[in-house]
């Protein structure tokens, strides 16, 4: 294992576990040209696994992604192997069974006796410690994580996880092998949640906190995160798709593994859904009702009059894209020096900086309506606003009218510090920054993991640099001050780079 070449095609791959994930991984390896031993203690599971692979290959042929001959050859390379089946020329073992450390250790210990001494032993675990697993196996230097994402045949990302004792050359071999299998490998240390399941926690956590504080509704926060933040799915609909039992279990696992760090604290909102058995799509109810006769969720939009005059007071920072939109819309726009505000017929609007609208209004000495961060103000279909309690309805309507004149739908949240997109993006950037600071993974691999593994529109660190790391740090600092919680502490890595920006 001294070179960084991919696993040779004449070396077989063993996949332990013939469930959905195991069958998917087996198909990936077989399509790449390897002989694959699909192993399971259940003959029925092996039959189902091979049937899944055949059906998937047939779909590839139907879509023109593979010839019938290539599909047949790949399927022929998948060999169902029971507990006593002979295994020949094995170079790589991938375990893909239940998330239980003792069971995984037992399966890999037994497999290590059946394969050659130079075979790599890997686990597809999404949450367990690769270091702890490897320590209980005969040769921990031969052990690594090889975490595919479901469905393994479609999603490109593979997290290559190095345990404390993992041979660095083995990691290089797994990276090269993943690339040869047409996957996108990222390398990380064995740490709770690895990259994706760690960095993604705020995407769920901040939405759950907004719901706990009754600042919004599931349908509204989902619409804002999709149509303003650019995410493919909103957090509530995604949790419903994943299953609240699964998502809640991962959150609890990460929280416990980080010794109850408040950044990963589970939510009572999700706990109640799990207790009620409202697990999402699979149970028929979650945040949304999926029963046949259920009404479709409705997002209420705010309307307002078209503005007569707009004044741009100073630089708008991450919201600078609004300037061109205002001019293109043919509005009466005036530019002056100032503190980075918009005035719409006298009404003050400002991009959220992590303070509540109440706090901003008090600081300015007049009512201020806040608007949310957008991935791309030109492309976004929706914007979120917030205002302090008691703000006159006509003031809010004037603010809404500005964005409806730009062709946006408008959602009104409660007086939520950081609104929805801004606080979520800030926390995602912060989590990624801490992962870099702690040597978990490189900046490039973290961004690749979040775009390739969970389909984020842009990597969190690239997003932070786009809007300004000083802006992100300021949002977090204001959230921390407002909540008085360590949950929103600013990463040292982010603090240092924000200072570089501000002093540059």
Angle, in degrees to the nearest 10, between helices 218-227 and 235-242:
110
- Please give the angle made by the CA atoms of 129, 133 and 137, to the nearest 5 degrees: 160
183 Cβ neighbours under 8 A, 6+ residues apart:
28, 148, 156, 157, 158
**What residues does 347 pair with on adjacent strands?**
344
* Of 77, 76, 80, 60, nearest in space to 68 by CA: 60
Structure tokens at 399: 């603010």
The sign of the dihedral angle between the CA atoms of 136, 137, 141, 142 is negative
418 Cβ neighbours under 8 A, 6+ residues apart:
352, 354, 426, 475, 478, 479
* Strand order from edge to edge, sheet including 333-336: 333-336, 310-313, 341-344, 347-351, 368-371, 382-386, 409-412
Give dist(CA 283, CA 94) in Å, integer.
Answer: 31
Give dist(CA 399, CA 305) in Å, integer.
Answer: 9
Phi and psi (nearest 5°) for 144? -150, 170
Question: What is the set of active-site residues?
Answer: 126, 147, 159, 197
Under DSSP, the state recorded for 317 is: G
Structure tokens at 93: 């073992």
């Amino acid at each position: 294992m001294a070179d960084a070449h991919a696993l040779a095609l004449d070396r077989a791959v063993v996949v332990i576990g013939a469930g959905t994930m195991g069958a998917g991984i087996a198909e990936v390896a077989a399509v790449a040209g390897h002989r694959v031993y699909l192993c399971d203690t259940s003959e029925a599971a092996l039959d189902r696994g091979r049937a899944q692979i055949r059906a998937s290959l047939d779909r590839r042929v139907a879509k023109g992604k593979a010839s019938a001959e290539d599909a047949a050859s790949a399927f022929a390379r998948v060999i169902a192997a029971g507990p006593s089946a002979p295994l020949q020329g094995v170079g790589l073992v991938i375990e893909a069974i239940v998330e239980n450390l003792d069971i995984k250790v037992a399966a890999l210990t037994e497999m290590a006796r059946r394969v050659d001494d130079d075979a790599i032993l890997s686990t597809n675990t999404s949450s367990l410690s690769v270091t702890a697993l490897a320590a209980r196996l005969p040769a921990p230097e031969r052990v690594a994580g090889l975490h595919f994402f479901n469905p393994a045949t479609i999603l490109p990302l593979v997290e290559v996880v190095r345990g404390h004792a993992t041979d660095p050359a083995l990691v290089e071999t797994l990276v090269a092998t993943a690339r040869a299998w047409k996957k996108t490998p990222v390398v990380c240390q064995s740490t709770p949640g690895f990259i994706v399941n760690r960095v993604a926690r705020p995407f769920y956590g901040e939405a759950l906190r907004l719901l706990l504080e009754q600042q919004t509704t599931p349908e509204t926060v989902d619409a804002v995160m999709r149509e303003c933040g650019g995410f493919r799915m909103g957090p509530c609909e995604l949790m419903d798709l994943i299953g609240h039992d699964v998502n809640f279990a991962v959150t609890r696992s990460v929280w416990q593994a980080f010794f109850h760090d408040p950044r990963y604290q589970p939510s009572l909102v999700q706990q109640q859904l799990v207790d009620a058995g409202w697990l999402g799509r699979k149970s028929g109810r979650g945040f949304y009702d999926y029963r046949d006769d259920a009404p479709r969720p409705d997002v209420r939009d705010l309307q307002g009059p078209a503005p007569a005059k707009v004044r741009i007071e100073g630089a708008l920072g991450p919201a600078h894209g609004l300037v061109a939109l205002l001019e293109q819309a043919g509005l009466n726009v005036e530019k002056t020096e100032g503190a980075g505000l918009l005035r719409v017929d006298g009404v003050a609007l400002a991009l959220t900086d992590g303070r509540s609208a109440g706090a901003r209004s008090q600081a300015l000495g007049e009512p201020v309506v806040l608007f949310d961060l957008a991935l791309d103000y030109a492309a976004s279909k929706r914007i979120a606003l917030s205002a302090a309690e008691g703000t006159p309805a006509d003031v809010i309507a004037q603010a809404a009218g500005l964005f409806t004149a730009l062709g946006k739908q408008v959602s009104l949240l409660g007086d939520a510090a950081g609104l929805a997109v801004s606080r979520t993006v800030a926390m995602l950037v912060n989590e990624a920054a801490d992962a870099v600071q702690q040597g978990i993974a490189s900046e490039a691999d973290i961004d690749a993991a979040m775009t390739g593994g969970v389909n984020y529109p842009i990597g969190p660190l690239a997003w932070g640099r786009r809007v300004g790391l000083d802006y992100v740090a300021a949002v977090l600092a204001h959230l921390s001050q407002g909540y008085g919680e360590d949950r929103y502490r600013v990463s040292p890595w982010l603090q240092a780079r924000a200072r570089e920006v501000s002093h540059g």
